[in-house]
Chain A
Amino acid sequence: EPEVTQTPSHQVTQMGQEVILRCVPISNHLYFYWYRQILGQKVEFLVSFYNNEISEKSEIFDDQFSVERPDGSNFTLKIRSTKLEDSAMYFCASSLLSGGLTDTQYFGPGTRLTVL
């Protein structure tokens, strides 16, 4: 069964450093998402991406964050200058279609980001 994959599973970085989290969505999916979950808190939406541009973003997704689909398979989340409060699990998700029909988002296993 196709699945979303994410690398690395755990990333440790120093405050102020840049990190790139990588995701490989399900191959025929068209919409891509990033969510995060701070330890003990809810899963929160960050951004959605379609046709090589951001579709929607939350207030969490400020100028320190960026997303990119550098090739036909990868989808990345970059945090330019990490802060302690960026420590969280980051989940990538993808879904097949859009346009007035409900579609199901499938999540990857997550990357645990620890900012020291």
Chain B
Amino acid sequence: DAKTTQPTSMDCAEGRAANLPCNHSTISGNEYVYWYRQIHSQGPQYIIHGLKNNETNEMASLIITEDRKSSTLILPHATLRDTAVYYCIVRAPSGNTPLVFGKGTRLSVIA
């Protein structure tokens, strides 16, 4: 089973920041937090991952709390194309550890 808890759905106005929370209170010290998204029935798309520090790339920012028990994915300026299911996944660092997907958060970006 997934080790994360996410809200089932969220709405966000186009052009505003989308903040997607994730709880992972049982995360171990060496486990990473990964975020993927899935648009319609397309293949999951990698967004970002982190261990302790906040991370930013061209798609999003990841804020991890100091105790690592929760994190927030931030899409700074949401567009209609960001409408998708967003998955927060906790994963051990050993090479081929499978990804365990939960139900994710369905983000709807509204014009």
Binding site for B on A (CB under 8 A): 4, 31, 33, 35, 37, 42-45, 48, 50, 55-56, 58, 89, 91, 93, 95, 97-110, 112
Contact = CB atoms under 8 A, between A and B. Distances in A.
Chain B interface bracket (under 10, 10 to 19, 20 to 34, 35 or more)? 20 to 34
Contacts of B45: 107
Given A31-B95, A45-B100, A95-B96, A105 B49 contact: no
B13 to A, nearest CB: 28
A42 B46 contact: no
Interface string B93-109: 11110111111000000
Nearest to A109: B43
30 contacts: A31-B95, A31-B96, A33-B96, A37-B41, A42-B101, A42-B103, A43-B101, A44-B101, A45-B99, A45-B100, A50-B95, A91-B43, A93-B43, A97-B95, A98-B94, A100-B94, A100-B95, A102-B32, A102-B49, A102-B51, A102-B91, A102-B93, A103-B95, A106-B46, A107-B43, A107-B44, A107-B45, A107-B46, A108-B43, A112-B41
A103 to B, nearest CB: 6
Binding site secondary structure of chain B: loop
A95 B101 CA distance: 17
